[in-house]
Structure 1
Amino acid sequence: MLSTEDYIRLSIQHNLFWIRIMKEHAIFIEATMPPPGRQYALQAGRFRQNYDRLMRLTIRLSNGVIKADDLHSGQFYTQYTLEAERQTQVSTGINIDTNLTQMEHCIEPYNKSLPINAYMEQSVGALNENLLSLTNSFVRFKAELLELRTTCGLFTMMYTADIEHVLLEAQRYQKILVGLQNRVDLTPEDDIIFWTQNMAGHAKVMRGELDPTQGVLINQANAFANTFDTLANEEISGCNNPTDSTLLTETQDIAGFKAMVTQDLIHCKVQAILLSLYTDHLLREANHFIWLLK
């Protein structure tokens, strides 16, 4: 059972990470939807706006709650996020609220004298309930898109595997929010399997969306996909379980790869059908996994 202080801290920490992930899923869906799917693009846009609204509230509740090392862990934003947002807005025409990223840079770190009172607990509880309701709706929306995509009822520029990937992440956030509201945190083992599989999925999508001329990068992405597939299979089977140090090293390596590709996309040094915000998004997820492993 989580204490009140842990409930508030973990809620803010999870929400700072996951709200941005969810709103960017909405951006990617919106950006890759051809004209016949306009109604789904508009729905994704509304999800983006709703997550933005709740992200603003989360940032306001964050001051004095999160330790400085956690704030600077690269899981909430990176050195590339703001410019990646600006470039993605120009490339897609989607309105991205970059003020939220600037606000995150200004969050005040943990202050032990901050009073943990009933009002703050109630505010965080109400935020979690609103986020759970919104995420429940987003899960249903993504499940509908996946069904349409797999039955050829809708064409999008997102891979079917990528739609499934964003659905699984929304379901993960859903599970975390339910756990928090029941004052229960997820087990580390559950996190490790989930994120190891995710790292493999990231590498496969990057492999497929790099331009065919980018042979070296494609081979690197493929090697990461094979590595994390092997690690995930070992975790699931229970045989030859990888050590935390092995997982940490491999995740740091793929994070470095994602950072390099993000930087090169921003400076137009690599050819791909990848938005720099997308690879920055994947980088933040790798940084989140590194933070969990540490």
Structure 2
Amino acid sequence: MGDPIVARSLDEIRFWSRIMKEHALFLSLGFTYEQQQLIDEANQFITLFERIEEKLSRFTVNSDLRQVQAFNTEVYQAAAAIWSYKRKVLGLTLRCEIRSNNYPLLVDHISREAAYFANRLKELNEGKLAPTPDDVIEENVFFLKIMADHAKFIGHLLDPSERKLVDQAREFSHDFDQLLFQAIDLDSMRPQSETKPILSQFLDQNRVSVVSLRDFKKTARELIEACRIKSNIHPLLADHTFREAERFLEIIDLFEANLNGAQS
């Protein structure tokens, strides 16, 4: 059995490096023809994360911990660099120095994901594997906002004539905003160990909503791939948001297991 830090590190890099590469692609597709320099920078990040994915394939769960920690540091630098690029694009957009088809909220959204990825790698190199109860809430705040954002993007990228799907996306946006506010309330209460049942109930509620959103995204992805709905949603973007919902479900399960382990 390999080191759990190694296994978790490789899992995080496998998932998030692909996400970062796709972010660069989506940004590049959203820029206009006169924004070639920004497109070129996005393409450089696609190449960078493809190289990381190629290096990742040489590691296994039995790889040496120090080598994996060095790789984590290398990937951390790439995540920090793409975060900086995304924040630059956001600044240019908010100051109206560029106009593109990338929503400011989308650019902010993907920069939050880059910061999350970099932070996870830093934590793993510090030996932090299992979350504390406070981390459970914080991580849920992060992912609930991600899910709420996804619902908003889907609603805005669907053709206005797709009224039923637009309404469904709006309902999901409202539901996840409510869950996010609930998480923020819980975060301000800073539950201690004796409130683990509350955390467990909180995770159960989130799981039910994420499963519904995941299934909606899966249906949307299939309809988009079959050209059965009208939208500006790239098929890869539909799959991308579906995978992030799946990831959130995995993390909820991980938190539940840790909470149950701490209770026993």
Report whether the alignment pairs 1:21 with 2:19.
yes
Aligned to 1:177: 121
Q: Is the 8 A contact 2:137 2:183 kept in 1?
A: no
- Partner of 2:230, secondary structure, is coil
Deviation at 1:126, TM superposition (A): 2.1
Cα RMSD (Å): 1.8
Report whether the alignment pairs 1:136 with 2:73.
no
Task: Return the alpha-carbon distance in structure 2 between the equivalents of residues 33 and 252 of structure 1.
Answer: 33
Partner letter of residue 210 of structure 2? T
Residue segments in structure 2 that go unaligned for 5+ positions in a row: 190-197, 254-264
Q: Is the 8 A contact 1:265 1:276 kept in 2?
A: yes
Structure holding more helix per residue = 2
Task: Return the alpha-carbon distance in structure 1 between the equivalents of residues 209 and 159 of structure 2.
Answer: 24
Task: Return the alpha-carbon distance in structure 2 between the equivalents of residues 12 and 45 of structure 1.
Answer: 24
Aligned to 2:56: 58
Greater displacement, 123-132 / 283-292:
123-132
Partner letter of residue 266 of structure 1? E
Candidates 185, 188, 196, aligned match of 2:136: 188
Task: Return the alpha-carbon distance in structure 2 between the equivalents of residues 195 and 30 of structure 1.
Answer: 25
1 or 2 for the larger relative contact order (CA 8 Å, sep ≥6)?
1
Aligned to 2:216: 257
Aligned to 2:242: 283
Deviation at 1:243, TM superposition (A): 2.3
Aligned to 1:147: 91
Determine what percentage of the aligned residue pairs are the same residue: 24
For 1:210-229, list aligned pairs within 5 A: 210-229=158-177
Task: Return the alpha-carbon distance in structure 2 between the equivalents of residues 60 and 196 of structure 1.
Answer: 34
For 1:1-294, list aligned pairs within 5 A: 5-62=3-60, 65=61, 116=62, 120-185=64-129, 186=131, 187-238=135-186, 243-294=202-253
Residue segments in structure 1 that go unaligned for 5+ positions in a row: 66-115
Partner letter of residue 115 of structure 2? Q
Q: Is the 8 A contact 1:16 1:59 kept in 2?
A: no
Partner letter of residue 234 of structure 1? Q
Task: Return the alpha-carbon distance in structure 2 between the equivalents of residues 121 and 293 of structure 1.
Answer: 26
Q: Is the 8 A contact 2:90 2:108 kept in 1?
A: yes
Task: Return the alpha-carbon distance in structure 2 between the equivalents of residues 60 and 279 of structure 1.
Answer: 29
Q: Is the 8 A contact 2:83 2:111 kept in 1?
A: yes
Q: Is the 8 A contact 1:197 1:229 kept in 2?
A: yes
Aligned to 2:257: none
Deviation at 1:287, TM superposition (A): 0.1
Task: Return the alpha-carbon distance in structure 1 between the equivalents of residues 116 and 204 of structure 2.
Answer: 24
Deviation at 1:195, TM superposition (A): 0.6
Partner letter of residue 247 of structure 1? N
- 1:190-239 CA deviation, whole Å, 9 max, x = no partner? 22111111110100010000001100100000000000000000110128
Task: Return the alpha-carbon distance in structure 2 between the equivalents of residues 193 and 130 of structure 1.
Answer: 27
